[in-house]
Amino acid sequence: MNNDCPKGSFNAHWFAFFNALTFQIIIGTPLILYAKSIGASSTVLGLLAAATPLMTMLQLPAAKYLPVFGYRRFVMMGWGARTVFIFFIALIPVLGFLDKTTKLTLLVFCILIFNILRGAASAAWMPWIALLIPEEARARFLSRDQLFMFSGSLLALLVSAFLIGGEVAAYEFSLVFLLSGMAGGVALYFIKKIPDVHAPDAVKESSHPVSWRSIFVYSPFLALLFFNILFVFEVGSLGVFSVQYLRDLPGFNDSVVLYFSCLSFIGSLFVLPFIGRWLDRFGNKALLFVSLLLFGIVIFGWFCLAAGLVSSKSEVVFTINFLSGVAGAGFNVANSRMAFAIMPQTGRDHFFALFSVITSLGLGASPVLWGISLDYIGTFEVVTGAFHWHRHSIYFGVLFGLNILTLLQVRNLHERVSENGGDVPADPFKEAV
């Protein structure tokens, strides 16, 4: 571990690994495939995908309790309780006396409770890391953290693809969900080993309430918030409905879809070792712009497949998924680093909570709205020249338009806020509070 980071902070990376192994199954592709197997519509799939970001709104009421419990204890309480519900979910596929509708209802209920607990507990994570890791070490720390996270996600999908093969039996989904619960237990062990922030004054200052007006007139925050809202409406539903589209194509069964989903994490792992150095050399905005260009290529690739402009060959799907991982890795690290850089010390917990809640509401609304829209479009089809217009080609076409709008917003972002000048004072709320 780099000497700039506190001793013991490397445990955060192992937490990221096992946490990714957990969530990539329980709220990722395996969950979508299981829900689809028991009759979930596009709307229900959208609701399942939306539960995680929508419940992030609980960060706002939870933020005021952070000084009471401390960051580490608060995360452990939430993550521990949510892990219990993973084991309940693992039972659902093997409850043979229940019909599919009842199983789907139970699944939605358990996922909702799981995400309520997760959403509240996540209020502590970013403020904890912001105080734990010095600014000069954050690019390397975040790159390394993403590396561990994507490694856990890749392992989760590889094991899931191995277990869910051919004609899928109900108990195979239970085994996959059980793996998620066990990984959640290991993640708790590493949370306990991460150093807590023993700086009461810093925690109190970070948790100091700030007026809504002061937050929304803070231009670096407002610009980053609007940019992220555009981004989540662009890609927030892509992981759900690209899987749905691919699963409906001949020759792409559950196992094949999972193996192709692995490629995005391979793409992330391929590029993550270099991202920290690129950020230090070129800055956040440059990497965000390049990442969005790559996302544009990915979405246009899906559009070409759905519109019939190219055949659904494995090579095309391979390339799209790989580039998606490269784009996601670059975007996540640069976006997180920018958020850490612009948040003022005073009221930081509330800034992070509000930022997470608003962007997560957009992330939650995206799959729900698109799920309803795809069900509404239904079986509509029309061919105009070389273009085959149907619900998925229309969907990918609109996402490509959103990508262009998001790219244009990059120029309005603030690279960072320095102590000695820059876009605005480093801590503009000192006098106000």
| Residues 343 and 130: beta-carbon distance below 8 Å | yes
Find the range with the poorest average confidence among 89-103, 167-181, 375-389: 375-389
Beta-carbon contacts of residue 77 (< 8 Å; ≥ 6 apart):
69, 121
Cα of first residue to Cα of last residue in the chain, in angstroms, is: 37
Q: What is the bridge-based pairing of β-strands 387-390 and 381-384? A: antiparallel
Q: Which residue in 179, 276, 293 sits closest to 234, CA to CA?
A: 293
Which DSSP category does 178 fall into? H
User: What is the per-residue pLDDT across 177-197, written as a single tens digit (0 to 9) for each?
Assistant: 999 999 999 999 999 998 887
Q: DSSP letter string over 218-245?
A: -HHHHHHHHHHHHHHHHHTTHHHHHHHH
pLDDT tens digit sequence for 198-239: 644 454 555 555 566 666 677 888 888 889 888 988 888 887
Using an 8 Å Cβ cutoff, are 86 and 177 in contact?
yes
**Rounded to an integer, what distance in angstroms lies between the CA atom of residue 291 and that of residue 34?**
31
User: Does domain 11-418 sit in CATH 1.10.3720.10?
Assistant: no
Question: What distance in Å separates the CA atoms of residue 231 and residue 238, rounded to the nearest whole number?
Answer: 11
Q: Which helix (H) or strand (E) holds 151?
A: helix 138-163
Closest residue by Cα to residue 162 from 172, 150, 149, 177: 172
- What's the CA gap between 254 and 269, in Å, rounded? 23
What is the band of 165 on the pLDDT scale with cuts at 50, 70, 90?
A: low
pLDDT tens-place string over residues 347-381: 666 677 777 777 877 877 888 888 888 888 887 87
Structure pTM? Answer: 0.69
Question: What are the phi and psi torsion angles at 309 (to 5°)?
Answer: -75, -25
CA angle 158, 307, 374 (to 5 degrees): 75
Helix residue ranges per DSSP H, 27-137:
29-37, 42-54, 59-63, 66-69, 71-91, 100-121, 125-132
Query: What three-state secondary structure class fits 381?
Result: strand
Q: What ranges do the domains of the chain cover? A: 11-418
- Average pLDDT of span 405-415: 88
Q: Determine which helix (DSSP H) or strand (DSSP E) holds 384, and give its type and residue range.
A: strand 381-384
Whole-Å CA distances, 406 to 25, 124, 222, 317, 360:
29, 29, 15, 24, 17
pLDDT tens digit sequence for 140-157: 888 788 889 888 988 988
**Per-residue pLDDT tens digits for 288-341:** 999 999 999 999 998 988 888 887 677 888 888 899 989 988 898 888 888 877
Could you give the percent of the chain with pLDDT greater than 90?
21
Which neighbouring-strand residues pair with 205? none
List phi, psi (to 5°) of 382.
-155, 145
How many angstroms separate the CA atoms of 351 and 359, rounded?
A: 12
- Give residue-wise pLDDT tens across range 36-60: 888 888 888 888 878 887 787 787 7
How many C-beta atoms surround the C-beta of residue 112 within 10 A?
A: 15
Distance CA 198, CA 6 (A): 12
Asked if residue 11 lies in contact with residue 193, where contact means CB atoms within 8 angstroms, the answer is yes
- Contact, 108 vs 44, CB < 8 A? yes
* Mean residue pLDDT across the chain: 81
Check if the beta carbon of residue 346 is closer than 8 Å to that of residue 205: yes
Spatial contact of 60 and 124, defined as CB atoms under 8 Å apart: no
Q: What is the C-alpha separation between 64 and 213, in angstroms, rounded?
A: 18
**What is the Cα–Cα distance from 78 to 114, expressed in whole angstroms?**
9
Which H/E stretch holds residue 352? Answer: helix 348-377
Distances (CA, A) of 360 to 147, 225, 322, 365: 23, 11, 25, 8
Query: Residue 68 carries which side chain, given as an amino acid letter?
Result: V
Q: Quick check: 424 and 418 in contact, CB under 8 A?
A: no
